[in-house]
Amino acid sequence: MADERSFDLVVIGAGPAGYVGALRAAELGMSVACIERDRLGGVCLNSGCIPTKALLHGAEQLTFMREQAGEWGFHIPKLTVDWHAVTSRPRRITEQFNKSIAGLFKSGKVESINGSATILAAGMRSESNPYPCKVQVTAPDQTRTVISAARVLIATGASPRPLPNIPFDGRFVINAYQALLIPQQPRRIIIVGAGAIGVEFASFFRAFGAEVTLVEMKDRILPAEDSDVSRIVAQQFTRIGIRILTSHKTGQLDVYPTGVHIAVESPTPGKTEILKADHLLVAIGVQPNAANLFGDGISPDLSAGWIKTDHKDTPSPTYMTAVPGIYAVGDIIGPPWLAHVSSAEAVACVERMAGRQTPGVDYASIPACTYCQPQIACIGITEDELRAQGKTRPTDYVVGKYSFASHGKAVAVGENVGFVKLLAESSTGRLIGAHLVGPDVTEVIGELALARRLKATVQDIASTVHPHPTINEAIHEAALMCIRQGVR
């Protein structure tokens, strides 16, 4: 297999890290190839961020029509759901974006290669050996070619993790990707894992009338969120009929022609319940996409399967792995598994390859959003984490918590459940955490990300005039409450 082509950079994976990094590298004058074994856009575009948000928005519209339309003066005597239309719309959207990325690659002079990649050789570029890295590409028809590169950027991402000894079958035991393709509207569904993905799908399926049981092994849903956020979401889920089983573990699974039966163990010793449903959706986390990625002699350092780079050890990381000439960004290098982080890492990585000075990624200022109903958005530390560190109020920190219950915009639009909670250092007033739950909070968290990035104080936020009437005003009110709580 002779080397056919040589590139300054070969990117493996065309998700939010890969395609963004490839395009930026090309802008900086590098010759770039991007290898993708599936569809351009990766998980986020094809079976994650974009299609799920399309589905969830549809669920919001359905909930409004069923529960609130009459209050607004709209009367819908016979509301029906076309499940095929509901689930096919996101696929049409992803196809549009697939074509858009292909167009960007073409105009940006990035060579797009369809196939699976294996790194055969690596090394640092030199005058005598300008293309030391070798990557084998196995095309869908199983033909193989080898391309050369000065550097290789791994951006292969992650995929859903199954329950131990219970593989996904795509029909009865499904992951989040497969949940987008359920051909018939389910009557009953069990969701194992109550993190962001689990609660989003719980919201979606419940809105379309399914009986939903949410099983979580920890003592509350959304265990990574501030406990006040978890509490109010649990209350709302219970109100709309989602059954929540926390501190429960899954046991034996039986699959039948009509659905699944799974045993769940409660915190009470010896107490087990058999749950029955059309589908079991497993949302317990992700695992790295690294199968067949490394040839003989290519051994990067790993941490629980995730590729280690220098991004945790230096303030200005290059994202190089332990293998010279091989870099990695995005989900494949571990948490936080967020598309916007992946893209930011890719840009920082290739800009530093090109010798550019770049501010890089501020990992302390990463916002995260969950699109269940009510929506969730957060940044920085939680109050639970502060307490675990032995910090107490008001000596170390203050809290400003403002409810949407009587907030003008929230009441006007009929969505006044939730709050904005800001955490600030007592001594300086600097914002150290923000936790929002309620209407469209995913659209306003950017203000607080900027505040964190610029080391702004709650005094800065409170002295900024916010437009009225908007959801953003709730941030202003929470900042004022922080000041009244005793910021020195």
Closest CA to 457 of 421, 435, 484, 432: 432
Cα–Cα distance for residue pair 141/160, rounded to 1 Å: 26
pTM value is: 0.95
Let me know: does 215 contact 191? Beta carbons within 8 Å: yes
Please report the pLDDT score of residue 314 as a whole number: 87
Please give the full DSSP string across 188-244, using - where no structure is assigned: EEEEE--SHHHHHHHHHHHHTT-EEEEEESSSSSSTTS-HHHHHHHHHHHHHTT-EE
Match 């609660």 to its residue by tokens: 199
Please report the pLDDT score of residue 321 as a whole number: 97
CA 163 to chain centre: 20
* H/E segment holding residue 111: strand 110-114
Measured at the CA of 374, the angle between CA 185 and CA 177, to 5 degrees, comes to 40
Please report the pLDDT score of residue 488 as a whole number: 57
What is the CATH superfamily name and number for domain 3-46+89-159+287-363? FAD/NAD(P)-binding domain (3.50.50.60)
Please report the pLDDT score of residue 2 as a whole number: 44
Per domain, the residue ranges of the chain are 3-46+89-159+287-363, 173-284, 374-484
Let me know: does 437 contact 229? Beta carbons within 8 Å: yes
CA 4 to chain centre: 37
The DSSP bridge pattern shows strands 144-154 and 133-138 to be antiparallel
- Tell me the two tokens of residue 221: 């849903």
Q: Classify domain 173-284 by CATH architecture.
A: 3-Layer(bba) Sandwich (3.50)
Please report the pLDDT score of residue 270 as a whole number: 83
What phi and psi, each to the nearest 5 degrees, are found at residue 291? -65, 130
Cα–Cα distance for residue pair 201/204, rounded to 1 Å: 5
Cα–Cα distance for residue pair 61/68, rounded to 1 Å: 10
Cα–Cα distance for residue pair 389/237, rounded to 1 Å: 31
The catalytic residue positions are 468
Write the class of the CATH domain 374-484. alpha beta
CA atoms within 13 A on the CB side of 169: 14
Cα–Cα distance for residue pair 373/357, rounded to 1 Å: 41
Cα–Cα distance for residue pair 440/396, rounded to 1 Å: 31
Domains 3-46+89-159+287-363 and 173-284 fall in the same CATH topology: yes
pLDDT per 10-residue tile (average), the chain, 488 residues: 78 98 98 96 90 94 93 92 94 92 97 98 94 97 97 97 95 95 95 98 97 98 98 98 97 95 92 97 97 95 95 92 97 97 98 93 96 97 97 92 96 96 96 98 97 96 96 97 79
